[in-house]
Amino acid sequence: MPARTAQLLLVLTLFAAVGGAVTGCDSEQEGGRGTRSHTPDPVAKARARQVADAWDGSEAARAWRKGYYPMDETVQLPEHAFHDGDDKQAYEAQNFVLRGELPAAPRKNGQVKWESGASLTLPLMEARQAYETVARGGHDGPHLTVTGAKLGEMTLATSRGPATVPAWLFTLDGYDTPLKRAALRPSKAPTPPVAPVAEGTSATLWPLQGLVETAGDSRSVTVMAGHGACDDGPVVDVLETGGSVVLSASIVGAKDGPCTRQMLREKVTVKLDRPLDDRVLLDAFTGRPVRHVN
């Protein structure tokens, strides 16, 4: 493996483990392999099959289907957001100012309610905790002002389909409708039945950097894939089984020689042969479910 490729693979692997920030160029590609043509690597295809075989019918898959795992934004913006560029900048920088009291949770637990009729009871997040998940900025520059909050509900996509969950509704100064933040944390992820790709053993597979969104009809998913500054960008192949959908990310057009060590990322939309439904969406590199990134 060329030294430059090995270095970038190591950096991206560390990113996948800790969820660090990267610079972005969010162009979107359609199709299971995006718009860039390439020949799927036999080693990557074999790895995808290994991951699918390990998960299908496993205890981990059964636990995943019993839990609450958002596949959508857990923060929903007010209607007509944003009024101007400053408000958008403030939200993206997580710059909020609290001008009011945040209430205590009226009860200890809340329920996820799925359209299927199933439900799950989980600890309810306090308003202060929910606020702190969105207000992480340093207050430099433009800010949004929160004047109060109350407990309500929101609907979002999950690994088990659409669900209604308790949510804190934060009143923002200047907006007629609230900013919503889901008041339940995801269930603990099950232990994967397959280990991640060992560092330095694959020059083709790359870790995905998270799920961006699932289409309303569940027939496609958009993921964030990483690549370097000296290649033509990422592609994502898909292996579908009855119990899982395994995504294999790679890059095309990699060049040897001197190159900056920055990380870039792109949105890649992967079309599926049939709806995702409750099949487990998996990353071939890590062997783990692809989690949503806010």
Q: Are 235 and 248 in contact (CB under 8 A)?
A: no
pLDDT value at 266 more than 70: yes
Range in 3-17, 87-101, 267-281 with the lowest mean pLDDT: 3-17
The pLDDT tens digits for 104-162 are 999 999 999 999 899 999 999 999 999 999 999 877 789 999 999 999 999 999 999 89
Which residues does residue 109 pair with via DSSP β-bridges, in sequence order? 123
pLDDT value at 21 more than 60: no
The pLDDT tens digits for 161-204 are 899 999 999 999 999 999 999 999 999 999 999 999 987 666 67
pLDDT score of 260 = 67
Domain boundary among 165, 182, 199: 182
Asked if the structure places residue 292 within a domain, the reply is no
Q: What is the mean pLDDT of residues 11-19?
A: 39
Asked if the structure places residue 289 within a domain, the reply is no
pLDDT score of 257 = 64
200 in the same domain as 59: yes
Beta carbons within 8 Å of 253's beta carbon, 6+ residues apart? 36, 231, 232, 233
Asked if the structure places residue 291 within a domain, the reply is no
pLDDT score of 36 = 53
pLDDT score of 4 = 41
Domain boundary among 124, 152, 182: 182
Beta carbons within 8 Å of 181's beta carbon, 6+ residues apart? 74, 75, 130, 131, 133, 134, 167, 168, 170
44 in the same domain as 80: no
162 in the same domain as 211: no
pLDDT value at 63 more than 90: yes
pLDDT score of 171 = 97
35 in the same domain as 18: yes
pLDDT value at 227 more than 90: no
pLDDT score of 252 = 78
pLDDT score of 18 = 33
pLDDT score of 87 = 97
pLDDT score of 138 = 78
pLDDT score of 20 = 35
Residue 8, by phi and psi: left (phi above 0), alpha (psi -120 to 50) or beta? alpha
171 in the same domain as 222: no
213 in the same domain as 116: no
Q: What is the mean pLDDT of residues 225-231?
A: 75
59 in the same domain as 14: yes
Asked if the structure places residue 294 within a domain, the reply is no
Bond from prior residue into 285 cis (ω within 30 degrees of 0) = no
Q: What is the mean pLDDT of residues 279-284?
A: 97
177 in the same domain as 201: no
213 in the same domain as 149: no
278 in the same domain as 234: yes
Q: How many domains does the chain have?
A: 2
Asked if the structure places residue 162 within a domain, the reply is yes
Measured CA to CA, the distance from residue 138 to residue 268 in angstroms comes to 32
Q: Which amino acid is at 69?
A: Y
Which domain does 245 fall in, by range?
Answer: 3-66+190-283
Q: Are 266 and 252 in contact (CB under 8 A)?
A: no
Asked if the structure places residue 290 within a domain, the reply is no
The pLDDT tens digits for 248-259 are 998 876 667 667
Asked if the structure places residue 262 within a domain, the reply is yes
Domain boundary among 182, 213, 235: 182
Q: What is the mean pLDDT of residues 222-247?
A: 88
178 in the same domain as 80: yes
Average pLDDT for the chain: 85
State what percent of residues in the chain have pLDDT above 90.
Answer: 65
127 in the same domain as 37: no
Asked if the structure places residue 288 within a domain, the reply is no
pLDDT value at 10 more than 70: no
Number of other CB atoms surrounding residue 53 within 10 Å: 15
pLDDT score of 109 = 97
